[in-house]
């Protein structure tokens, strides 16, 4: 998969494609249906599949404190797009300049002159351009004028008729229903990243943890969880804290994972942390002794939960 960072990096070999535009947060079953239909159309036209995304996501730039929690980081999106057969990923840096780009200029610079799109799939509620002035009808008119086909995305629903969406998935994750989240996503909810050096507080408390930066403006959930972790293609189980660590820090978001019965160093290793069940909310303790006791209790609860599931 080719990653194209910004319009200025578009080259002639990137032009002529079938494309879709969106945040694609979670790369859920609805997104997967879009990409599958794009692949079929791309095969028919002998053209590459191109996904167009924004970083940061528009709401993260415009109002970061109120932005929805991210289901997938940028790096995680790269993994899923590649796995699902996307040939090109055009990542547009969302800033004031892009925000002020008119709908007509967006069509001309990105779709017509930039990518020379031949077939475009977007949601019928998709809005773009300065003041969100562009919509599906405007894209359809532009397609008739400039020679590309515009199709609406197909709505994917569950058995109860409810639409699968990133917003719906965020709600079930906050509720701790990771089984339903997996059904909606089409894959387990997970956070991936390399282990970095932290305060090493867990080691002082007798519970060493692997520290991972979530790489999200807002977290999709917080608390203490029973988790399954993949390291070098090997499965491990453990307990994880996702949040801001109110007892010892209270500012930066982090993911700290304690692997049961693990020996060795994890620094620099890439971990895939799959969330299985929530144990409790994150809370501030009066001091390290109370925190240490709570961590041990969390480990006991997680072990019992995992034993019951396995």
Task: Tell whether the torsion through CA atoms of 97, 101, 107 and 112 is positive or negative.
Answer: negative
Would 183 be classed as within a structural domain?
no
pLDDT along the chain (310 residues), means of 10: 95 96 96 95 97 96 94 96 97 95 96 97 91 94 96 92 96 96 97 85 73 93 96 94 76 90 89 96 83 89 83
| Whether residue 212 sits in one domain with residue 148 | no
Please give the pLDDT value at position 98: 94
| Whether residue 220 sits in one domain with residue 117 | no
Please state whether beta strands 254-259 and 210-212 pair in parallel, antiparallel, or not at all (unpaired).
antiparallel
Please give the pLDDT value at position 252: 81
| Whether residue 266 sits in one domain with residue 146 | no
pTM for this prediction: 0.93
Give the total number of structural domains in the chain.
Answer: 2
| Whether residue 126 sits in one domain with residue 8 | yes
Would 176 be classed as within a structural domain?
no
Are 114 and 98 in contact by the 8 Å Cβ rule? The answer is: no
Rounded to whole angstroms, the Cα distance separating 194 from 192 reads 7
The token pair at 182 is: 């997996």
Please give the pLDDT value at position 259: 95
| Whether residue 202 sits in one domain with residue 118 | no
| Whether residue 242 sits in one domain with residue 146 | no
Please give the pLDDT value at position 197: 83
| Whether residue 135 sits in one domain with residue 243 | no
Q: For the chain, how big is the Rg over CA atoms in Å?
A: 22
Would 90 be classed as within a structural domain?
yes
| Whether residue 91 sits in one domain with residue 202 | no
The domain that holds 8 is classified in CATH as 3.40.50.620
The domain that holds 239 is classified in CATH as 2.40.30.30
Would 168 be classed as within a structural domain?
no
Would 178 be classed as within a structural domain?
no
Residue 103 structural domain: 2-152
Would 167 be classed as within a structural domain?
no
Would 99 be classed as within a structural domain?
yes
| Whether residue 6 sits in one domain with residue 140 | yes
Are 298 and 239 in contact by the 8 Å Cβ rule? The answer is: yes
| Whether residue 200 sits in one domain with residue 115 | no
| Whether residue 202 sits in one domain with residue 296 | yes
| Whether residue 291 sits in one domain with residue 216 | yes
The token pair at 181 is: 């989240």
Would 67 be classed as within a structural domain?
yes
In the β-sheet with 149-152, what is the strand arrangement from edge to edge? 2-5, 88-93, 49-55, 17-21, 117-122, 149-152
């Amino acid at each position: 998969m080719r990653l194209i960072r910004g319009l200025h990096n578009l080259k002639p070999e990137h032009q002529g494609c079938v494309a879709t535009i969106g945040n694609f947060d979670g790369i859920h079953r609805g997104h997967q249906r879009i990409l599958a239909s794009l692949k079929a159309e791309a095969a028919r036209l002998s053209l590459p599949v191109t996904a167009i995304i924004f970083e940061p996501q528009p709401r993260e730039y415009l109002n970061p404190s109120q932005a929805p929690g991210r289901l997938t980081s940028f790096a995680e999106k790269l993994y899923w797009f590649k796995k699902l057969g996307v040939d090109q990923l055009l990542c547009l840096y969302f800033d004031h300049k892009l925000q002020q780009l008119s709908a007509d200029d967006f069509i001309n610079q990105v779709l017509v002159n930039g990518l020379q799109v031949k077939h475009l799939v977007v949601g019928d509620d998709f809005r773009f351009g300065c003041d969100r002035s562009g919509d599906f009808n405007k894209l359809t008119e532009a397609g008739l004028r400039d020679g590309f086909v515009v199709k609406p995305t197909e709505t994917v629903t569950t058995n109860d008729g409810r639409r699968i969406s990133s917003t719906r998935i965020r709600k079930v994750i906050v509720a701790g229903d990771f089984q339903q989240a997996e059904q909606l996503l089409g894959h387990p909810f997970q956070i991936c990243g390399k282990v970095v050096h932290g305060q090493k507080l867990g080691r002082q408390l007798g519970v060493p943890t692997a520290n991972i930066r979530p790489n999200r403006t807002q977290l999709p959930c917080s608390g203490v969880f029973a988790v399954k972790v993949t390291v070098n293609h090997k499965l491990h189980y453990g307990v994880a804290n996702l949040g801001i660590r109110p007892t010892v820090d209270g500012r930066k978001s982090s993911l700290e994972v304690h692997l049961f019965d693990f020996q060795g160093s994890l620094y620099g290793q890439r971990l895939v942390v799959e969330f299985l069940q929530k144990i409790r909310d994150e809370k501030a303790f009066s001091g390290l002794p109370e925190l240490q006791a709570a961590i041990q209790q969390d480990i006991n609860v997680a072990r019992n939960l995992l034993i019951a599931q396995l």
